[in-house]
Structure 1
Amino acid sequence: MSLTLTVLPGEYAVAQLPAGSAVPDWATRGDLWCVMNAPDELSVVCPAEGVPDGVRVQRGWQALRLTGPFEFTLTGILASVLNPLRDAGVGIFALSTFNTDYVLVAASDLGRSVAALREAGHTVQE
């Protein structure tokens, strides 16, 4: 399965807030953001510059958007992207929406990620 991915501009961050936290204003700014509530935490993916000091955070992520939309019945979409990244030793953070998927990779791994994806037959637009 050959896909097209686009590297989104800007640096992203993955932050963790305590369980039961209210969604902070900074978490919902920018073009791409995601808030996930779980029993033991509130996770936030958002532009890195918006995360204030004092928040548990990992910065330095680049986002790749898979060109969709994809029907829910399709299988192997993420695997076709994640397997080459795994084989290249690249860690990921994945997000899904109704229409498509996003994969975050460390900015320091972006070149290796793009090369691995292209070698796997995908098109990557930078």
Structure 2
Amino acid sequence: MTLNLKLLPDHLAVCRLPAKRAVPAWALSGTLHAIVWTTEETSIVCQAADVPEDVRAERGWRALAIDGPLDFALTGILVKIAQPLSDAGIPIFALSTFDTDYVLVKDSNLKRAINALAEAGHHVQSIP
């Protein structure tokens, strides 16, 4: 199955805040942001430029959105993206919404990731 992906324009960060912390305003800008609360931590994916320097964060991520909406009955969608990237030695950070799956790769691996996905038969399109 060939998948179409879109490269989102934002440079992202994956941040770690203490558990049960209120979501700061800086976390809500850009084309993609995600917040996950657990009893151990609050994780935020957001636009890297807006993250204060004193926040624990892994910066330099780019997001590839799998063209959707994707039906919940579909299986193996993430593995079709993750496997070629794994084979190329490219780590990922994956997240999903109701309609779409996203795979984040480090900006330093972006060209290699796009090439690996193309070799696996997928199409990646940049969006403004």
Q: TM-score range by the shorter chain?
A: over 0.9
Cα distance, 1:94 vs. partner? 0.6
Query: Taking structure 2 as the reference length, what is the TM-score of the superposition?
Result: 0.96
Percent sequence identity over aligned pairs: 54
- Give the aligned CA root-mean-square deviation in angstroms: 0.7
Whole-angstrom distance in 2 between the partners of 1:2 and 1:101: 15
Whole-angstrom distance in 2 between the partners of 1:100 and 1:57: 24
Cα distance, 1:83 vs. partner? 0.5
SS at match of 1:80: helix
Cα distance, 1:34 vs. partner? 0.4
Q: 1:72-104 CA deviation, whole Å, 9 max, x = no partner?
A: 000001110000000000001111011111110
Q: Look up the equivalent residue of 1:45 and give its one-letter code.
A: V
Q: Look up the equivalent residue of 1:71 and give its one-letter code.
A: D
- What is the 5 A alignment of 1:1-126? 1-126=1-126
SS at match of 1:60: strand
SS at match of 1:26: helix
Q: Look up the equivalent residue of 1:95 and give its one-letter code.
A: L
Whole-angstrom distance in 2 between the partners of 1:30 and 1:107: 17
Cα distance, 1:52 vs. partner? 0.7
Residues 35, 43 of structure 2: 8 Å contact kept: yes
Whole-angstrom distance in 2 between the partners of 1:58 and 1:123: 27
SS at match of 1:64: strand
Cα distance, 1:10 vs. partner? 2.3
Gap runs ≥5 in structure 2: none
Query: Taking structure 1 as the reference length, what is the TM-score of the superposition?
Result: 0.97
Q: How many aligned positions are there?
A: 126
Q: Look up the equivalent residue of 2:49 and give its one-letter code.
A: E
Whole-angstrom distance in 2 between the partners of 1:50 and 1:96: 22
Cα distance, 1:44 vs. partner? 0.3
Whole-angstrom distance in 2 between the partners of 1:83 and 1:39: 31
Whole-angstrom distance in 1 between the partners of 2:30 and 2:105: 18
Q: Look up the equivalent residue of 1:11 and give its one-letter code.
A: H
